[in-house]
Amino acid sequence: MHCPCPLTRNHEVNPCANCPVRHWTICHALPNDELAILESFKTGDRVCEADQEIYSQGDDLDELYTVVEGWIYLAKLLEDGRRQISQIALPGDFIGYQANLVRPMDHSAHTLTPVRLCVFPRDKFLDFIREHPELSLRLTWMIANYGELGRDRLLSVGRQTAVERVAHFLLELYYRVRLRDPEPLGSSIKMPLTQEHIGDALGLTSVHVNRMLRELRERKLVQVVDQTLTIIDPDGLADVAGFDEDMMDRLLDGGEGFECRSQRIE
């Protein structure tokens, strides 16, 4: 099974060298002159509309994706329909990966906006990775990173109050977007999420998310209007969110160095 969206194979149109997310994803591990390695491994591109299921919990997926453009949410469902959003995937994120690649997917991926995906064949992936240690380390970096974000969220959902959770969530999103697009034009970003999405990410109902957003607005910390998130008072918000320095550093660490290199220098 794979995403039903149309696949384009013309790599010429989007050579990896021009890829907008090159440095936010796995490919960052490759120097310019080795980019061809991934370019030849890549299957092609898929373009999906907003509000579409890329894969569903239970699917036997045969691809892996890098998000090139657009927003996606990853979610797990209980049998009666209760939903937990486990991650908001942004450009550069690598999705569809699981510890065991031959098992059915343990979560779903759903587009929030029109999306462009870079597609890799699943069955050859580990063999491919095995031959390229730098890619392997970079992959591990990314997977470990997603694990950390997940546990940050767990702390938030398990031990923070509703206002704190919402504040935390919005700040995290804000910095993740900013990392990818560091234009200093105001402190606003486009955020294509409904209050129900936010609730499903935080273990709250949309009604209560609404109340918390009102509170944050009245306290002049943050504003969400018309799918636009504006951070009015970053410090005040960080305060409510329980964001410490280290959390901030970790969020803004794109794995630049990235560890296998910075480690060498030590």
Partner DNA sequence: CGTATCATTGACGTCGGTCAATTCGTGTGG
Partner DNA sequence: CCACACGAATTGACCGACGTCAATGATACG
The least CB distance from residue 201 to DNA, in Å, is 12
Q: Which of DNA, a copy of itself, none sits in contact with 162, Cβ below 5 to 8 A by type?
A: DNA
- Residue 192 near DNA by CB under 7 A: no
As a whole number of angstroms, the distance between CA 215 and CA 167 comes to: 10
The least CB distance from residue 59 to a copy of itself, in Å, is 11
The partner residues of 110 in beta bridges, in order of sequence, read 53, 73
- Residue 161 near DNA by CB under 7 A: yes
- Residue 34 near a copy of itself by CB under 8 A: no
- Residue 92 near a copy of itself by CB under 8 A: no
The least CB distance from residue 111 to DNA, in Å, is 13
- Residue 159 near a copy of itself by CB under 8 A: yes
As a whole number of angstroms, the distance between CA 109 and CA 205 comes to: 21
Site for DNA in 206-265 (CB under 7 A): 206-208, 210-211, 213-214
- Residue 139 near a copy of itself by CB under 8 A: yes
Q: Which of a copy of itself, DNA, none sits in contact with 126, Cβ below 5 to 8 A by type?
A: a copy of itself
For residue 65, CA distances in Å to 84, 118, 127, 164 come to 21, 5, 17, 32
Q: Which of DNA, a copy of itself, none sits in contact with 181, Cβ below 5 to 8 A by type?
A: none
Q: Choose the binding region for DNA from 8-16, 130-138, 201-209, 250-258 (rule: CB under 7 A).
A: 201-209
Q: Report residue 266 CA to chain centroid gap.
A: 30
Q: Choose the binding region for DNA from 53-61, 123-131, 205-213, 246-254 (rule: CB under 7 A).
A: 205-213
The least CB distance from residue 75 to DNA, in Å, is 14
Please identify, using beta-carbon distances, which residue of 6 and 257 lies nearer to a copy of itself.
257
- Residue 250 near a copy of itself by CB under 8 A: yes
Residue 103 sits at the vertex; the CA angle it makes with 139 and 8, to the nearest 5 degrees, is: 65
Q: What is the contact surface with DNA in residues (CB under 7 A)?
A: 161-163, 194-196, 199, 203-208, 210-211, 213-214
